[in-house]
Amino acid sequence: MLEHVVFTTHLGWQHVQVFSRDNQPGKTAGITRMKLAQISRLPDTAPKPPPLLFVHGAFTDARIWDAHFLPYFARQGYAAHAVSLRGHGFSEGHEQLHRWRLRDYVADLARTVADLPAPPVLIGHSMGGMVIQKYLETHPKIPAVALMASVPPQGLLTSNLHMAMRYPFLFQQMALFSLFGPTLGSPDMMHRLLFSREMPTAKLREYIDYMQAESQLVSLDLAGMDPLRLKPQQLQCPMLVQGAQQDVFISPSIVRQTARFYGSEAQIFPNMAHAMMLEENWREAADSLLHWLDQVVATHLAAAG
């Protein structure tokens, strides 16, 4: 059962507090009330179908989508939503962050999807892409899916090895960041890990404020402790796969492997790094996503009736 306190304005900030009586870490052991924060941007007119739901990556929250993407897609006529998973941003669960598993984040996504007025297109970045893929194991009938610099279906082991060999210092710094949170992250290190060379220093410092610690158990799950069991043939929806040429974490070759797994084509943007939605040229990825929504997804949904 879900209860809500909703404050909404058109093309404004909507804060949704979701109270769930059965969002439990691991197996159910009593009743908890987990509040999840959601940011929504709504168009001034009736929104185009379907709604969009954006899922953030590790070490951050829904605000990364509100910098550019949510307002942009609302202006294009879509109801655009982003949820902060438990223990992230303004959602509850920070005090138990290191208890959470990947399956808990998947449960948060399932509750958020169920509460929307219609099944959404799911757009996930990095860890958020894997949260979506795990959700699809049991909910394969979704309008469409877009993965941006996503954790690949095989998990992060290959990606971690690639980074350790090619960028050993950055890999070491990322490991420390994973263990101890953003307090150990210098602006220069964050720049090299997440952003392209074009990112201005002033904006970099602003975006660093979005960073936080991440569940160590989830990091292990992403490395293969909770492998993906989804079969590509289970999906009957359009899949968009995007990546960034300057991404030191999810390399273009990994992005192409993900696209091949799902029988899709990879879009690689040359002047971007891992945090694609925050880059100076974020519009390139957003415009491509919009074209896909208006053409491929709309055609697929019309044919499906």
The whole-number pLDDT of residue 183 equals 65
Predicted local distance difference test score (pLDDT) of residue 253: 96
Question: What span, in angstroms and rounded, lies between the C-alpha atoms of 297 and 290?
Answer: 10
pLDDT of residue 54: 99
Of all helices (H) and strands (E), which one includes residue 128? helix 127-136
Closest CA to 211 of 54, 84, 95, 89: 89
* pTM for this prediction: 0.90
Give the H/E segment covering residue 5.
strand 2-7
Res 184: pLDDT: 60
CB 121 within 8 A of CB 292: no
Supply the DSSP string of 33-98, one letter for each residue: -EEEEEEEEB-SSPPEEEEEEEE--TT--THHHHTTHHHHHHHTTEEEEEEPPTTSTTSS-GGGGG
- Please, what are the domains in the chain? 2-300 (3.40.50.1820)
List, for the chain, all residue ranges whose pLDDT scores fall below the cut of 70.
Answer: 1-33, 178-185
| CA-wise closest residue to 124 among 105, 101, 150 | 150
Q: d(Cα 89, Cα 41) in Å, to the nearest integer?
A: 17
Give per-residue pLDDT as tens, 117-159.
999 999 999 999 999 999 999 999 999 999 999 999 999 988 8
DSSP 84: P
Q: What is the pLDDT of residue 8?
A: 38
Q: Which of 61, 129, 65 has its CA nearest to residue 93? A: 61
Best CA proximity match to 293, nearest among 232, 242, 235, 234? 242
CA distance 253 to 103: 27
Number of Cβ within 10 Å of residue 236's Cβ equals: 10
For residue 273, count CB atoms less than 10 angstroms from its CB and return exposed for 0-12, middle for 13-18, buried for 19 or more: buried
For 99, which DSSP code?
A: G
